[in-house]
Structure 1
Amino acid sequence: MADITTEFAASGAEAPPRVDLTGIDPELYNEDQLPTTAAERTWDWLAIAALWVGMVVCIPTYLLASYLIGSGMSWDQAVLTILAANAIVLIPMVLVGHAGTKYGIPFPVLLRSSFGPTGAKIPAVARGIVACGWFGIQTWVGGSAIFVILNTLTGGALAGEALPVLGISAGEFICFLAFWALHLYFIKNGTESIRWLETYAAPFLLAMGLALLAWAYVNAGGFGEMLSTPSAFDPGQPQEGQFWVVFWPSLTGMIGFWATLALNIPDFTRHAKSQKDQLLGQMVGLPIPMALFAFIASAVT
């Protein structure tokens, strides 16, 4: 399969609506699986970096640093552990993403090179199941955040008795459904709507993170108080000499946070304008914001 972006960009011709499908078994493809055309390559490095910022700045990411500090690490140990993990996972992220940019194909199609057209369905479905779990976690956390904010602004008006079976109040359930329903718009409008959302949301998310840090700075009386908690692994501390016992499982866990996306990153990089864009976008968008947000979480925690 040719690198269609390079081919049509060099010719100056308008990209065809789709590749020639004559003679291809219709069971091997659908509209979502076809290679992207040159006209669909709209993601520059800023868009890819913004995508990562949008994924990084979330409550589960915030909880990573909190967990490490709770395990006994100091703020700098927590931040460096998260930075190291994301530098490691960036390697397969860029390498697998290379195929998406070169051939314009999504993850399920790329799988065929290893598992064949039929065998590829198994890992594709397995990845989808994991994605459903991740989406459920993120939606629950997002809905909970909306509930907490609205319930606080209304003086506790949304609080109530837990519903049968669900174990949450009607207010919590409605906020969860509202946050879930919000995703339908972007699902309906496809990847381009995600690019639009992340491009505009990324600066706002970073600004809110810095605002949270500023709030903590003022209320704690400076960074000295915020970052003064010593490591529990230092001499004389409760877990003296046990740093590496905690570090290796923590590093593995931090790598696992984005390991699944390292598999299906072609779903996004297939829309990149060039390999340079996908490489630079991921290098800027993944490890640096993760470390920054980890620092904010560590300081505030």
Structure 2
Amino acid sequence: MATTTEQTTHPDGRVELTDPDAVANSPYGNAELAPTRLPERNWTTYNYAALWMGMAHNIPSYLLAAGLVTLGMNWLQAFLTITLGNLIVLVPLLLNSHAGTKYGIPFPVFARAFYGVRGANFPALLRAFVACGWFGIQTWIGGQAIYVIAGELFGKGWTDASAVGGHPWTMWLSFGLFWLLQMALIWRGIEGLRRFENWAAPLVTVAFLALMIAILVKAGGFGPILSQPSKLGWGSDFWTIFAPSLMGMIAFWATLSLNMPDFTRFGKGQRQQVIGQIIGLPTTMSFIALVSIITTSGTVIVYGSAIWDPVELTRRFENPVVVTIGLIMAILATMSCNVAANVVSPSYDFANALPRWLTFRTAGLLTGVIGVVIQPWRLISDPSIYIFVWLSFYGGLLASVAGVLIAGYWFLDRTALVLPDLYKSSGRYWYSAGWNWRAVVATIFGSLLAVGGAYSNPGAGPFPADGLIPFLKPLYDYSWIVGLVAGFVTYLLLSKPVRLGRG
């Protein structure tokens, strides 16, 4: 064990403050942002595997694969696209997870090492607002499930209620009820969430399998499904769709590739979090992708067209008991993912911006409010907008942040951080008035290259067909890779002379 006057390094490599109360009076800290004490770092391999099972086995994950089938891919093309995307995003995810376990700090505090104590609010709030959008999407989906279940109980008086804003008022009521359920869960704190994930994740897996089996029976087995040809073939039509689709698959978890320290800060050690995540993310995402692809392909045979929404598909079954059980599982799946993936992070991020005003719980409430204001029902109205606009655009933005963090932590600081200085206005990470302009410039430049050429097919999105910046249009199909590489290289080039000067 190595101990200095400020921080203690334990034999397993984990670091904690020598005096845990040293940052108690800092204007840049509170109980949630302070480093997790060693006795509280108790998450096991199973906890991380269960966390990913709960986050990956959800309806938007299902919609990813179903959306690719709807866009013309066959089962193999869709499965390979999603599996490859998740293997790629696992790399930055594990690289950024390391700091959480080693130092017991959440993502916005980790970002202070490179953006500055104040400047970390820039990437943290960028990440937070994306999470708010995701929270809204998931809450709308969960509300749909409640709406359908209530329709089975109350009949047409519920489902055919008068419309408000393009949807029955009963749908809005269901949306609000699901919103309240999630707020109640987040109010229980991070430990309550861990217990919920442990038992909810396996139930969700069973529900998706049951839906697939039901469709297989109706479709006459695997044969008719797996023999369906691709509408795209394996030529230029496929590759045109493949590149932006792969970026969308990567971007789906680009958010967690940044803020996974919010969870790994509670890990018993690096081995537990690494193995748990390797078991949890690629395997469960590949599993849900395969289930979704088989199920959606089966709906083409059974119903004559691809039904990519599992809530809508569940409504097609005649047995009200089956419908109700299936949709209760959908509600559990959505809560399991939504609170873990889309409320925990912005709760820390907003608290980081106003540590004296916002706690984990009140920041979680703020996340819920913003998630409604974003109008999530518009984001998932069409698979083209969902994959190519929503996922690809924010994926490019967040990838440049990931590039900065990886460059700073692994290549410049070699994983060595001064823990107390992350909470000081006079330490190593204060830079210039609390901001490191190099990280900000690298992020902006990487984001510009990644999404500056954002385009939409005519009538299929908000961007011009020639791209926002036409000469950058070719880069948009590779937005996540472009953002990651540009942010990484730019930050290294801007920071290297400074580090050499210090040496």
| TM-score of the alignment, normalized to the shorter chain, above 0.5 | yes
User: In structure 2, how many angstroms separate the alpha carbons of the residues matched to 1:287 and 1:107?
Assistant: 22
Is 2:35 the counterpart of 1:40?
Answer: no
Provide closer, same or farther for how the CA distance between residues 3 and 245 of structure 1 changes in structure 2, counting only shifts above 3 A. farther
Q: CA deviation at 1:3?
A: 4.7
Asked whether the 8 Å contact 1:3–1:102 carries over to 2, the reply is no
Q: Which structure carries more relative contact order (alpha carbon 8 Å, separation 6+)?
A: 1
Q: SS of the residue aligned with 1:179?
A: helix
1:245 corresponds, among 240, 249, 258, to 240
Provide closer, same or farther for how the CA distance between residues 140 and 125 of structure 1 changes in structure 2, counting only shifts above 3 A. same
- Aligned ranges 1:7-156 → 2 under 5 Å: 19-21=20-22, 26-156=26-156
Asked whether the 8 Å contact 2:13–2:102 carries over to 1, the reply is no
User: In structure 1, how many angstroms separate the alpha carbons of the residues matched to 2:11 and 2:194?
Assistant: 19
User: In structure 1, how many angstroms separate the alpha carbons of the residues matched to 2:19 and 2:48?
Assistant: 24
Is 2:255 the counterpart of 1:260?
Answer: yes
Asked whether the 8 Å contact 1:48–1:281 carries over to 2, the reply is yes
2:273 corresponds, among 278, 282, 286, to 278
Q: CA deviation at 1:167?
A: 3.1
Asked whether the 8 Å contact 2:99–2:261 carries over to 1, the reply is yes
Asked whether the 8 Å contact 1:17–1:37 carries over to 2, the reply is no
User: In structure 2, how many angstroms separate the alpha carbons of the residues matched to 1:230 and 1:222?
Assistant: 16
Residue 414 of structure 2 corresponds to: none
Q: CA deviation at 1:20?
A: 3.2
User: In structure 1, how many angstroms separate the alpha carbons of the residues matched to 2:155 and 2:18?
Assistant: 54
TM-score, normalized by length of structure 1? 0.90
Q: SS of the residue aligned with 2:188?
A: helix
Residue 200 of structure 1 corresponds to: 199
Q: CA deviation at 1:138?
A: 0.7
Asked whether the 8 Å contact 1:2–1:103 carries over to 2, the reply is no
User: In structure 2, how many angstroms separate the alpha carbons of the residues matched to 1:259 and 1:63?
Assistant: 17
Q: CA deviation at 1:25?
A: 5.5
Residue 391 of structure 2 corresponds to: none
Q: CA deviation at 1:186?
A: 2.3
Structure 2, unpaired ranges of 5+? 1-6, 297-503
User: In structure 2, how many angstroms separate the alpha carbons of the residues matched to 1:243 and 1:16?
Assistant: 53
Q: CA deviation at 1:6?
A: 4.5
Q: CA deviation at 1:169?
A: 2.0
Q: CA deviation at 1:242?
A: 2.0
The alignment yields a C-alpha RMSD, in angstroms, of: 2.3
Question: Per-residue displacement from partner, 1:58-96 (whole Å, max 9, x unpaired)?
Answer: 111111111111222110110111000000001111110
Q: CA deviation at 1:129?
A: 1.2
User: In structure 2, how many angstroms separate the alpha carbons of the residues matched to 1:5 and 1:49?
Assistant: 25
User: In structure 2, how many angstroms separate the alpha carbons of the residues matched to 1:17 and 1:174?
Assistant: 51
Q: SS of the residue aligned with 2:32?
A: helix
Asked whether the 8 Å contact 2:82–2:246 carries over to 1, the reply is yes
Q: SS of the residue aligned with 2:35?
A: coil
User: In structure 1, how many angstroms separate the alpha carbons of the residues matched to 2:233 and 2:14?
Assistant: 60
Q: CA deviation at 1:156?
A: 2.7
Asked whether the 8 Å contact 2:49–2:276 carries over to 1, the reply is yes
Q: SS of the residue aligned with 1:31?
A: coil
Q: SS of the residue aligned with 1:147?
A: helix
Structure 1, unpaired ranges of 5+? 10-14
User: In structure 2, how many angstroms separate the alpha carbons of the residues matched to 1:173 and 1:234?
Assistant: 41
Q: Which amino acid letter does the alignment assign opposite residue 197 of structure 2? A: E
Count, aligned residues: 289
Q: CA deviation at 1:149?
A: 2.4
User: In structure 1, how many angstroms separate the alpha carbons of the residues matched to 2:286 and 2:182?
Assistant: 27
Asked whether the 8 Å contact 2:45–2:275 carries over to 1, the reply is yes
User: In structure 1, how many angstroms separate the alpha carbons of the residues matched to 2:89 and 2:203?
Assistant: 26
Provide closer, same or farther for how the CA distance between residues 27 and 16 of structure 1 changes in structure 2, counting only shifts above 3 A. closer
User: In structure 2, how many angstroms separate the alpha carbons of the residues matched to 1:44 and 1:185?
Assistant: 25
Asked whether the 8 Å contact 2:8–2:17 carries over to 1, the reply is no
Q: CA deviation at 1:17?
A: 12
